[in-house]
A and B are shown apart, each in its own frame.
Chain A
């Protein structure tokens, strides 16, 4: 990778001030996406602003209605958290399937969703549960957050500080792993939330999205059977050597059924 200036601020305010003072700086959270990209010389930020020293950004807090996860909380801690396992077991399953154990010891939820990587897992849960993304400036609703391929609603000078998940009645996550990278080729997060059924899909399209037809069917009958004949269109879905758009569309249906069957 190319060289850069490294900063390790003690607070979010300092982090933003520092970031704003750089010519082309980037936030460093877990580094599990950014550092590989920089190693390939596909990104060359002038500065890295490391959030690791900001303790306020780490931690999981659950109350009766929500689970709030600090942006710098690593995947392993989300997976292993007794609170998460109790309140939203599907979220624990999802976090426990990201990457491998070593990646899970470093990768963070904030870093994962800030990138809007089409094959990251968390976006499916963020959409599927209708989470709220808190930044240093505002709260953003899940449905407004993911805009496109590697594109989110985050503005320059804005950093995610926490993600708050409403606790659903039940939820399930099923993922089809790309055989080489083990990323989500298709990942479906299904939840029966206080405000209705939500189906969040990652991996299949340019960014995470909802499948309304499945949500409507599941609202009437929350069972795999209810959606087994609902085909999603393959137009606009990702296609590569690992799977055609048609195959991905098929997998959305299969993984959705399995997510429903696994919901608890």
Chain B
């Protein structure tokens, strides 16, 4: 079993896992970071979105071995102690979550959208959220939250 090492939320991790282990499984099952969720099996729902080296990716469609040496950030790594990330604050302020299952993925995707489009319009945000599905909110407040996060 390959020994796979990476940095997750600023901390070094090194775990022996089967080559077929997905990054999301490395995080959830081996590191017990259960904030990243699995919502589908066709790489579409986005609940598994994390950042690798600062870019949003779908952790259900990446092998842990592919992340050897990478810097991974999950939803658990955003807040600085008690201080929430502006995107997290914005989701709370705008009621951008209901059941919360798609939320970690939405927050991670939202940060990436604003990184690439600092002044994203509503149309841009809606288009950029193509890879994230929500069944509860109808997207209205998620879009608001992403547009208005004080980043």
Which residues on A are within 8 Å of B, measured CB to CB? 1-6, 8, 28, 31-32, 35-36, 38-40, 48, 50, 52, 76, 99-103, 105-106, 181-182
Q: Are A2 and B20 in contact (CB under 8 A)?
A: yes
Q: Are A39 and B130 in contact (CB under 8 A)?
A: no
Q: Are A6 and B63 in contact (CB under 8 A)?
A: yes
Once the chains are docked, how many angstroms separate the CA of A84 from the CA of B46?
A: 28
With A32-B43, A36-B43: A103-B58 Cβ-Cβ less than 8 Å: yes
B residues contacting the other copy or chain, number (CB 8 A): 30
Once the chains are docked, how many angstroms separate the CA of A119 from the CA of B55?
A: 26
Q: Are A99 and B63 in contact (CB under 8 A)?
A: no
A4: which B residues are within 8 A, CB to CB? 19-20
Q: Are B41 and A39 in contact (CB under 8 A)?
A: yes
Which residues on B are within 8 Å of A, measured CB to CB? 2, 18-20, 22, 41-44, 46, 49, 55-58, 60-63, 65-66, 68, 109, 112-113, 116, 128, 130-132
Q: Are B112 and A101 in contact (CB under 8 A)?
A: yes
Q: Are B19 and A102 in contact (CB under 8 A)?
A: no
Beyond A35-B63, A101-B112, A102-B56, 10 additional pairs, beta carbon < 8 A: A31-B63, A35-B61, A36-B41, A36-B43, A52-B66, A101-B56, A101-B109, A101-B128, A102-B46, A106-B62
Q: Are A103 and B19 in contact (CB under 8 A)?
A: no
Q: Are A101 and B66 in contact (CB under 8 A)?
A: no
With A102-B49, A102-B109: A6-B65 Cβ-Cβ less than 8 Å: yes
Once the chains are docked, how many angstroms separate the CA of A100 from the CA of B126?
A: 11
Q: Are B61 and A36 in contact (CB under 8 A)?
A: yes
- Identify which of B22, B41, B57, B66 contacts A102 (C-beta below 8 A): B57
- In chain B, what residue has the closest Cβ to A182? B130
Once the chains are docked, how many angstroms separate the CA of A5 from the CA of B65?
A: 11
A25 smallest CB distance to B (angstroms): 12
With A40-B41, A105-B55: A31-B62 Cβ-Cβ less than 8 Å: yes
B65: which A residues are within 8 A, CB to CB? 6, 8, 50
A41 smallest CB distance to B (angstroms): 11
Once the chains are docked, how many angstroms separate the CA of A39 from the CA of B62?
A: 11
Max chain A C-beta neighbours (<10 A), residue from B2, B41, B44: B44
Q: Are A99 and B131 in contact (CB under 8 A)?
A: yes
Once the chains are docked, how many angstroms separate the CA of A223 from the CA of B18?
A: 56
Once the chains are docked, how many angstroms separate the CA of A137 from the CA of B41?
A: 36
A97 smallest CB distance to B (angstroms): 9
- Identify which of A1, A6, A36, A99 contacts B2 (C-beta below 8 A): A6
A35: which B residues are within 8 A, CB to CB? 22, 43, 61-63
B68: which A residues are within 8 A, CB to CB? 8
A3: which B residues are within 8 A, CB to CB? 18-20
Once the chains are docked, how many angstroms separate the CA of A38 from the CA of B43?
A: 12
B82 smallest CB distance to A (angstroms): 29
Once the chains are docked, how many angstroms separate the CA of A177 from the CA of B75?
A: 31
